[in-house]
Amino acid sequence: MSMSTRVKCLLVDDLEENLLALGGLLRREDVEVLQARSGAEALELLLRHDVALAFLDVQMPEMDGFELAELMRGMERTRHVPIIFVTAGVRDQHRLFKGYEAGAVDFLYKPLEPHVLRNKADVFFQLYRQKQQLAHQLQELSETLRLNEMFTAVLGHDLRNPLSAILTSADLLHRRTADEAVRRTAGRMLSSGKRMGRMIEDVLDLARARLAGGISLKRGSTDFGQLVQRIVQEHQSAFPQHRIEVHQEGDLVGDWDSDRLAQVASNLIGNALQHGDTGEPVRVRLEGLGKEGVVFSVTNRGAIPRELKVSLFDPFRGGQRQRGRSEGLGLGLYIVQQIIHAHQGSVNVQTDSGEHTVFRVELPRQGLEVIKL
């Protein structure tokens, strides 16, 4: 068996014969036994070694087992080391309670039964090996995920240049040709290219949120009311069969990133138009009566299934809602949430009496200062 699979066990007892006897029972090819004659010596060993299990004698001079256990629980490095107390004293209920309060996982009385001792120790050795294996696997998976996200970010960035050339050519073809069939084809190319461009931007925003520590903002004085009116006009022309009702009241100016808020408004209003019942208008409400912030809500007729509601803001899952009518990657609501969180705001979804879906955004007017300690 390779040395890398060996685990370390700490034995603490002030009597040399007890250390020799206990070490003889536990020592094997895959277990390294560390021995200490005092609490101070044990703490020195714990600073240099990672141990899977510690056997502590209760009755020791200067620092007893309970005091050593409390010190171990107080250090980050040794806080989670399992502790088994060993004592030659008589069974005392008060001592038992004190031992478990100090963080013990078991309490053994001398003379020790060798078979029981080894079996108990093997359980903790196996748990330690499994913990180390899981930590290694998690590290490998995290690195794989990081590389995949970096590849996605680079790919998304590099796709923008050829897509821009395609869109420019399609636009030129659409304006210069007199052939109606060619014009229709160029129009479809423009429409599909713009949709692809939006998808690429979503992928880049996903990469920014996950790799760069969050979506960055360019704050400035922004009139949310004017911004929403512009977004509503754009969507109304794209969805002429739908009605959009807008209600605004109060002061709607704040220190926000106007482009990012336009993204939020466009996504939420577009979702409502795409997924809502055309029998009722989409209702957009902006309320700026409070001094500290603004509330923005979008309501449409139609409820989100309960099983989708819990993962609606998760990347790639939000698009499960009526997937056949979706035109994106399922990243829109996740990006909305990241933008609102970057503004120190909140966004949630509610179902009104099972008939309406309401997305509600609460947005503070000013960015909160982060105090670094």
For the stretch 120-152, pLDDT in tens is 899 999 999 999 899 888 888 888 777 776 777
**What would the CATH number be for the domain defined by 3-112?**
3.40.50.2300
**What would the CATH number be for the domain defined by 220-364?**
3.30.565.10
For the chain, state the CA radius of gyration: 32
Residue 178 to residues 33, 167, 173, 174, 186, Cα–Cα distance (Å): 88, 19, 9, 9, 12
For the stretch 320-368, pLDDT in tens is 544 444 455 578 888 899 899 989 999 999 886 668 899 999 999 987 5
pLDDT of residue 25: 87
Q: What string of DSSP letters covers 68-130?
A: HHHHHHHSTTTTT--EEEEE-SPP-HHHHHHHHHTTEEEEEESSP-HHHHHHHHHHHHHHHHH
**Average pLDDT score, the chain:** 83
- Model's pTM, two decimal places? 0.55
Extended strands (E) in 141-252: 220-223, 244-250
For the stretch 198-235, pLDDT in tens is 788 877 777 777 766 677 788 999 999 999 999 999 88
> What is the C-alpha separation between 321 and 330, in angstroms, rounded?
9
**Domain residue limits, the chain:** 3-112, 152-211, 220-364
Query: Phi and psi (nearest 5°) for 293?
Result: -165, 180
pLDDT of residue 112: 81
